[in-house]
Structure 1
Amino acid sequence: MSNEAVKLPELSSDYSLTVEQISGYKRNGHTMLRQVVTPEEMSIYRPVIANLVKELNYHSKPIHERDTYGKAFIQIGNLWLKHEAARRYTLARRFAKIAAELMGVDGVRIYHDQALFKEPGGGHTPWHQDQIYWPLDTDNTITMWMPLVPILPEVGTMSFASGSQEAGYISKLVISDESHRTLQQYIDGKGFDIVNYGAMAAGDATFHAGWTLHSAPGNPTESMREVMTIIYYADGARTLEPDSNARRSDFATVFPDLKPGDIAANDITPLVYKKA
């Protein structure tokens, strides 16, 4: 292992959850936790991840020439396969244990990580459900959303429709203007409470269920909104026959060696936490 890897913080210590945080997550489909990563730890991980995203940024058009999805963020997946620091971050036991305890499962695997960097002038992220993209036959999925830099109120963090996870699969619409309109109407009709946690420090994190409806505002500031996400699912879950283009694409990328109905486990979906 390189000297660089030896110097990286382990991110393996426990983060203690309260009974109220776990029950709140199960009820609402989301929660926010302060300082999951300390400022000292983030000072080491953030520059490496930010430089990696800058290096891998695929956008060639200015923001005003992109579609709604392209305006929303620079999106880079599976950073953990591209750099040792990103690997240490994504496979961190601390995060995975939180995910397992919130879902109430004994073990979790990584589905993938994603950097979601919203550029200055970047557009809003429309209402959507994450799990419409994942060919997983389980409701035990969760996304960690962690700012690498402070997010001020004028930049904006995510908004969640509390309790919407109970509805399960609402719509196959991928992130788009159409998903925003259609799901806003659905939210209004159901009367879900909308929760936004406001300003977040670097290293704070929200966790939300795969079916929880969520959105985020645009970025009107001159600063990049740097966020890392990690998606987890319960160990032992099986793959699902893809029923949409989005899920067919993900199946081919994430589970190229598996068939529908197989246990969802391979080298790129490693087990990152197992209860003793």
Structure 2
Amino acid sequence: MSIGNQLPELNDTVELSAAEREGYLRDGHAIIRQLARPDEIAAYREVIGEVVREHNYHTKPLEERDTYGKAFIQIGNVWELSEAARRFVFARRFAKAAADLMGVPAVRIYHDQALFKEPGGGHTPWHQDQIYWPLDTDKTITLWMPLVPVPEEVGSMTFVSGSHKNGYISKQEISDESHRTLKAYIEQKGLPQINYGAMAAGDATFHAGWTLHSAPGNPTSLMREVMTVIYIADGLTIAEPDSGARRSDLARWFPELSPGDAAASRLNPILYP
């Protein structure tokens, strides 16, 4: 439990089963229940929520925003904004799980994102995360952990099993267009979709950078508070950006680095081991 200004340590590790590791490599996604305990989440929810409230950039009501703006409040690299939040984002327990699922010995952080879906918030369109990342690799993974219970009607994200093996499917950024295009792609190929349903605070899904996924809207009266951390295998090289989105990500998340450099800026420390 947190005591005074102290926060729970998250530097112990958990052992994943062979089925969890094999399932991730096969499907491109996995769920690990109770990766964080209720007392741990309760302590960190407060500090992360404070960062989100302070840095929320939305000034328009939901109905006046575009599809992306309706999807969530998105705050990147909360670890740079709060020393307390940094302890959560840099958790060795989470980083080891990411490394084990990818089957790599060491991982760095790429960046984190708080994704808070407001009451009445819209859906998150179909997309691939890695269209934004200037990396040519399959060794990327995102942890998605709710800080509050997520009911069945909101649920986890929906993943397309095996889609990570198809690599770069579309360069479309998250939008109504990406949703239409990728929905048609999924339906035409008859690809299997998985949603893990209700999640407890501290449960975590992991998905590969190329895994197609979407999320439903939030029909409830409660904020869907989620924290995400993106990990990359240590030893990767920055690729030549082939889009404006990737050029922007290169400048933001790999500051002062160029294509051909090791993907290891001051913002990308090794989190495990």
TM-score norm. by structure 1 comes to 0.96
Choose 153-162 or 18-27, whichever is displaced more. Answer: 153-162
Root mean square deviation, CA, Å: 1.3
Query: SS in structure 2 opposite 1:226?
Result: strand
Question: How far apart, in 2, do the equivalents of 1:35 and 1:16 lie?
Answer: 13
Distance 1:196 1:248 in 2: 32
Name the CA distance, whole Å, in 1 between partners of 2:136 and 2:203: 30
For the 8 Å contact 1:152–1:200, the answer to whether it is kept is yes
Aligned to 1:75: 74
Please state if 1:227 is matched with 2:255: no
Q: Deviations over 1:37-66 (max 9, x none)?
A: 000111110111111101110000000000
Counterpart position of 2:240? 241
Aligned to 1:103: 102
Match of 1:270 in 2: 269
Gaps of 5+ in 2: none
In the TM superposition, 1:45-124 aligns within 5 A as 45-124=44-123
Between the two proteins, what is the percent identity of the paired residues? 67
- CA–CA distance in structure 1, aligned partners of residues 179 and 136 of structure 2: 25
Task: Give structure 1 stretches of 5+ with no counterpart.
Answer: none
Structure 2 Cα separation of the partners of residues 113 and 195 of structure 1:
24
Whether contact under 8 Å (1:147, 1:201) holds in the other structure is yes
The CA deviation at 1:137 is: 2.5
TM-aligned CA distance change 1:223 to 1:68, over 3 Å? same
Aligned partner of 2:23 in structure 1 is 24
Report the Cα distance in structure 1 between the residues aligned to 2:103 and 2:154, rounded to whole angstroms.
33
8 Å contact kept, 1:42–1:202: yes
Q: How many residues align?
A: 272
8 A contact 2:237–2:260 mirrored in 1: yes
Asked if 2 retains the 8 angstrom alpha-carbon contact of 1:107 and 1:235, the reply is yes
Cα distance in structure 2, aligned partners of 1:6 and 1:66: 38
> How far did 1:242 drift?
0.6
Query: 1:209-257, CA deviations, whole angstroms, 9 ceiling, x for partnerless residues?
Result: 0000000000011100000000000000000111001001001111221
Once superposed, which parts of structure 1, at least 4 consecutive aligned residues long, lie more than 3 Å away?
A: 3-6
Is the 1:128–1:214 Cα contact (8 Å) retained in structure 2?
A: yes
